[in-house]
């Protein structure tokens, strides 16, 4: 399998065993499961032992491909995957939260601070584009970090139509490959069900924006998180639908990219 075609499922909580978007890929042996279910020290915060274990689990894979990361509690996996990138790159994040909080407990990597950690620790990361959080949340981010981020707030998004948002995305320079990370909590509750507070974006709009990026940019990776609690599955079908659509979008982009 071409490394860019990797479909990787990170099994932290078991939630993906309750979804079936990946069944066809399993039949065609195009999917890899990374088994880290109930790994101590990995829920929300990733301690050193868990980090060592995860790195060992993914050492055979490059950063390229599409990664399903589980719930937003494990969004820090984007930071871990990105450390494998050896060329300058740009990060595009769709999220309802900034994920730029400095750690409260030493240097622990966390779901709420992984973007800040990436900016501070990964020399190949040259710029972050962050779309979705409230302006008030971004205002609380350390000024030095803010300066390295192009930010589109939830409030501005509500005032923009989709064509204006597309124009913003098309204005992103094509000088660097791009790493995309999507937390489904950026979506409205009608389109996704997550364990964190959610935004206003319709999935139809998110899909439109991703299509713009995939058409215009050299995309290295697409990460997806934002699953629900495996003990609260009444709305899991929404997430499964989004995951299936994003996987199909990735496969179509790969097919076009190879022409």
How many structural domains comprise the chain? 1
Interacting residues of 182 by C-beta distance below 8 A, sequence separation 6+: 93, 94, 95, 206, 210, 222, 223, 224, 225, 226, 246
Sequence-ordered list of residues with C-beta below 8 angstroms from that of 170, at least 6 positions apart, any chain: 212, 216
In three-state secondary structure terms, 212 is: helix
Sign of the alpha-carbon dihedral angle for 213, 186, 180, 221: negative
Of the listed ranges 96-105, 120-129, 190-199, 246-255, the one predicted with least confidence: 96-105
Dihedral of CA 47/22/193/249: which sign? Answer: positive
Q: Residue 42: which residues within 8 A CB-CB, separation 6 or more?
A: 12, 36, 50, 54, 74
The predicted structure's pLDDT at residue 27: 63
DSSP percent split of the chain into helix, strand, coil, nearest 5: 40, 20, 40
Q: What is the pLDDT of residue 255?
A: 81
More reliable by pLDDT, 186 or 234: 186
Q: Would you say 71 and 227 are in contact if contact means Cβ atoms under 8 Å apart?
A: yes
Q: Which pLDDT tens digit goes with each residue over 135-157?
A: 999 999 999 999 999 999 999 99
Domain of 172 in residue numbering reads as 3-257
**Separation in Å, CA 42 to CA 55, 63, 179:** 12, 20, 23
Question: Confidence class of residue 258 from pLDDT cuts 50, 70 and 90?
Answer: low
Higher pLDDT, 235 or 56: 56
Distance CA 29, CA 165 (A): 37
CB of 75 closer than 8 Å to CB of 43:
no
Whole-model pTM: value is: 0.95
Average pLDDT, the chain: 93
At 223, which helix (H) or strand (E)? strand 219-225
Give percent of the chain with pLDDT exceeding 70: 95
Q: pLDDT tens across 42-83, in order?
A: 999 999 999 999 999 999 999 999 999 999 999 999 999 999
Measured N-to-C along each axis, helices 203-216 and 236-257 cross at an angle, to the nearest 10 degrees, of 20
Residue 1 above 70 pLDDT? Answer: no
Name the pairing type of β-strands 149-152 and 65-68: unpaired
Q: Given this model, what pLDDT does residue 257 score?
A: 73
**Neighbour-count burial for 190-209, b at 16+ CB within 10 Å, e otherwise:** ebbbbebebbebebebbeeb
Of 10-24, 25-39, 187-201, which range is least confident?
A: 25-39
Is the pLDDT score of 2 beyond 60? no
Res 4 pLDDT > 80:
no
Which CATH number characterizes residue 144's domain?
Answer: 3.40.800.10
Distances (CA, A) of 93 to 7, 22, 81, 139, 250: 19, 23, 14, 17, 16
Q: What was the pLDDT predicted at 88?
A: 98
């Amino acid at each position: 399998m071409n490394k860019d075609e990797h479909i990787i499922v990170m099994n932290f909580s078991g939630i993906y065993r309750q979804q079936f978007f990946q069944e066809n890929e399993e039949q065609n042996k195009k999917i890899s499961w990374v088994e880290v279910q109930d790994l101590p020290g990995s829920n929300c915060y990733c301690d050193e032992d868990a980090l060592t274990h995860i790195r060992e689990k993914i050492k055979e894979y490059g950063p390229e491909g599409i990664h399903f990361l589980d719930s937003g509690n494990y969004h820090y996996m984007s930071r871990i995957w990105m450390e494998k990138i050896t060329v300058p790159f740009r990060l595009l994040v769709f999220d309802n939260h900034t994920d730029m909080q400095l750690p409260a407990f030493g240097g622990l990597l966390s779901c709420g601070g992984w973007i800040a950690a990436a900016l501070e620790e990964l020399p190949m990361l040259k710029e972050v584009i962050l779309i979705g959080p409230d302006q008030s949340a971004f205002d609380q981010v350390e000024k030095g970090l803010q300066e390295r981020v192009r930010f589109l707030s939830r409030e501005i998004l509500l005032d923009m139509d989709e064509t204006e948002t597309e124009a913003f995305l098309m204005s992103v320079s094509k000088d660097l490959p791009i790493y995309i990370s999507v937390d489904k909590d950026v979506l409205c509750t009608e389109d996704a069900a997550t364990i964190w507070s959610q935004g206003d974006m319709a999935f139809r709009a998110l899909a439109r924006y991703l299509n713009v990026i995939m058409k215009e940019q050299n995309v290295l990776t697409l990460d997806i998180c934002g699953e629900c609690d495996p003990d609260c599955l009444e709305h899991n079908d929404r997430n499964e639908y989004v995951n299936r659509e994003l996987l199909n979008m990735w496969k179509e982009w790969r097919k076009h990219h190879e022409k």
